[in-house]
Structure 1
Amino acid sequence: MKNQRITVFLVSFFILLGAGFFIFYYPAIKKSKQPDIAVVGEPGQNIRPFSFLNQEGDTITEKVMKGKVAVVEYFFTTCKGICPKMNENMAKVYQAFRNDDNVVILSHTVDPERDSVAAMKAYSLRFDADPKHWMFLTGSKKALYDQAYYSYMMTAVEERNPNIDEDFIHTQKFVLVDKKGRLRMRLTSKGEAEAYDGTNEKSVAQLIEDIKLLENEE
């Protein structure tokens, strides 16, 4: 029964993906020193406190992001759909900044029941990921999902379901966070803010360039 529920979640995820529910547009957009990289969210809105375990079993909190540019994603280790492509591209981001202490990558699982610390460790070894720079995070399902929704504006459904156990949050988007803990997104030709597409090499290349720009912001 448990595996059937997980399968239903996965099937629902791919249906929603096909329907295009993973593109993010937000009305709360502010001008920034980088005119094409909007500050997204309400004034004063920052990343909420969190506490998860990384692939080494160490506790990781929001403090790891303080004063740094961060890239955030949600995935699961047993995913055979878009996740391999996402993390193949995330590895390019990692390689570009693997020796840069001002950039961190946070890869959260959406399936903590199966993605234990050991599972995340095994997965991270595929990319030779330094846990100081690329963190594979697991923890409480509710905490992981709340962080996705409230801090990173990620959801796989058009409206938030109050029953967290029935939500399966997953998206191909990479979220960029600046040194002040604010979400940053590229503006489209229509002036709408859009997160970076982790399955699109051109979008990921743009993300790498935008990280460099944000590193130089005061």
Structure 2
Amino acid sequence: MIRTFFCTAACVLTFAACQSTAKKLPIIGEREVVQKEIDGKMVTDTIYPAIPSFEFLNQDSVMLSDKFFDNKIYVANFFFTHCPSICPTMQRNLLKAYEKYKNDKRIAFLSHSIDFKYDQPHVLKSYATKLGVDNDQWQFVNGSKAAIYGLSDKYLVFTKEDPNVPGGYDHSGYLVLIDHDKRIRGAYDGTNNEEVEKLLTDIDILLQEYK
């Protein structure tokens, strides 16, 4: 009877493990179905939206491009260093993910400042250091208003310069999970602890795709 119990338990655990391994995250965004000719045959292909190429100045005054994130999973967000509202909570929560995966070369983090006037590299560097970031795994970048705000749309993040809100900038607090092909696989409220825990779980699920 005891032997039967353990055999049953083992089967249940094996099934659960297989279910967990088999689980895949959705690809977020409107997909486009196109037809193209390959070797003389017309085939149907599905194209998913992806984050376009970019180049920004980082906290070390070095130009950082999307190539830095090739063959990596990364989490992106939009913030500004003197934000008096959601940013402190959002960045502390993102720090949890950074600390969990610190020195894991498969994973990176990217914070875009939406304060194109004040958040120069030395400001970003000081902010990152105070937050507890001490390697290049988490990048903090700034650029022109057009470049940063235009890119935020691709991450499905709302950003706006608004003198009527605290700090002068309005934005959503999503932490956006990006895969190796620069596609969005999840978006999480960075101010919500349950959402952040889901992000951590989903990173582990996404890592399984690239084993």
Contact 1:110 1:169 in 2 (8 A): no
Q: Which residue does the alignment assign to 2:189?
A: 197
Partner Cα separation in structure 1 for residue 106 and residue 203 of structure 2:
10
Deviation at 1:44, TM superposition (A): 3.5
Any residues of structure 2 matched to 1:89-128 within 5 Å, and which?
89-128=93-132
Aligned AA (1:198): G
- Give the equivalent residue in structure 1 for 2:156: 153
Given candidates 192, 198, 211, the residue that maps to 1:206 is 198
1:34 partnered with 2:4: no
DSSP-derived class of the 1:38 partner: coil
Look up the equivalent residue of 2:197 and give its one-letter code: A
Q: What pairs with 1:155-194 in structure 2 (closer than 5 Å)?
A: 155-156=158-159, 170-185=171-186
Which structure dedicates a bigger proportion of its chain to strand?
2
Distance change (3 Å), C-alpha of 1:63 and 1:71: same
Give the 3-state SS of the residue equivalent to 2:26 in structure 1.
strand
How far has the Cα of 1:127 moved from its partner? 2.0
Distance, in Å, in 2 between the alignment partners of 1:169 and 1:152 is 16
Q: Report if the CA contact (8 A) 1:124-1:136 is conserved.
A: yes
Judge conservation of contact 1:106–1:137 (CA < 8 Å) in 2.
Answer: yes
Aligned residues: CA RMSD: 1.8
Q: Structure 1's 182 and 92: CA in aligned 2 closer, same or farther, altered over 3 A? A: same
- Correspondence 1:8-47 to 2 at 5 A: 34-35=23-24, 37-41=25-29, 42=31, 43-47=47-51
Aligned equivalents of 1:215, 1:130: Cα separation in 2: 23
How many aligned residue pairs are there?
166
Secondary structure, counterpart of 2:171 in structure 1: coil
C-alpha spacing 1:156/1:173, structure 2 compared with 1 (3 Å): same
CA distance in 1, matches of 2:136, 2:171: 24
What is the identity percentage for the equivalent residue pairs of Structure 1 and Structure 2? 34
Aligned counterparts of 1:205 and 1:133: Cα–Cα separation in 2: 20
Instruction: Tell me which of the two structures has the higher relative contact order, counting C-alpha pairs closer than 8 angstroms and 6 or more residues apart.
Output: 1
Q: Contact 2:175/2:188 (CA < 8 Å) preserved in 1?
A: yes
When residues 131 and 147 of structure 1 are mapped into structure 2, their CA distance, relative to the original with a 3 A threshold, is farther
Amino acid at match of 1:170: H
Runs of 4+ in 1 over 4 A off after TM superposition: none
Q: Normalized against structure 1, the TM-score is what?
A: 0.72
How far apart, in 2, do the equivalents of 1:34 and 1:66 lie? 23
Which whole-Å CA distance do the structure 2 matches of 1:156 and 1:107 have between them? 13
**Which runs of 5 or more structure 1 residues have no equivalent in the other structure?**
1-32, 158-166, 186-194
Q: CA offsets, 1:119-162, max 9 Å, x none?
A: 1011001122134210011111110111111x2122258xxxxx
Matched, 1:65 2:57: no
